[in-house]
């Protein structure tokens, strides 16, 4: 089994924002599924990690929440990106890329995964 990674605070927020940008309004289950799929199973999110993060973004006004009917007729709480959330995503993504490039240059070629 591949090593599971801990999701860092902030990193998870960025993933949530990106997911909502790509997929549009989505419920918590969908956000979680999407993040796990994108990570190719390297990340698992339990509820206790996901939902506080969603609530925090909501409190900061970066996303909004609303109860709706889902595609298969279930009631679910849908989260959607706000304008502020969109701006935050752009800025955070840019910062992240810069940091990642810098660290990559710094550490040199990628070691073989064991």
List of residues contacting another protein (CB under 8 A): 27-29, 32-33, 44, 46-49, 51-52, 55-56, 58-61, 70, 72, 74-77
Let me know: does 79 contact 54? Beta carbons within 8 Å: yes
For residue 4, the minimal CB distance to another protein (Å) is 13
- Considering beta carbons, is residue 42 or 74 the nearer one to another protein? 74
- Considering beta carbons, is residue 68 or 97 the nearer one to another protein? 68
Helix (H, G, I), strand (E, B) or coil at 15: helix
For residue 103, the minimal CB distance to another protein (Å) is 26
Q: Which two tokens stand for residue 107?
A: 């550490």
For residue 30, the minimal CB distance to another protein (Å) is 8
Q: For the CA atoms of 60, 64, 66, 70, what is the dihedral angle to 10 degrees?
A: -120
Q: Which two tokens stand for residue 39?
A: 């990570």
């Amino acid at each position: 089994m591949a090593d599971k990674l801990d999701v860092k605070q902030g990193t998870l927020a960025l993933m949530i924002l990106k997911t909502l940008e790509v997929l549009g309004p989505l419920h918590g289950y969908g956000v979680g599924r999407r993040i796990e799929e994108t990570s190719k199973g390297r990340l698992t999110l339990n509820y206790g990690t996901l939902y506080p993060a969603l609530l925090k973004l909501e409190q900061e006004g970066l996303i909004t929440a609303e109860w709706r009917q889902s595609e298969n007729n279930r009631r679910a709480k849908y989260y959607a990106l706000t304008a502020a959330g969109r701006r935050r995503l752009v800025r955070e993504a840019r910062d992240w890329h810069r940091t990642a490039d810098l660290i990559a240059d710094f550490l040199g070629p990628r070691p073989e995964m064991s």
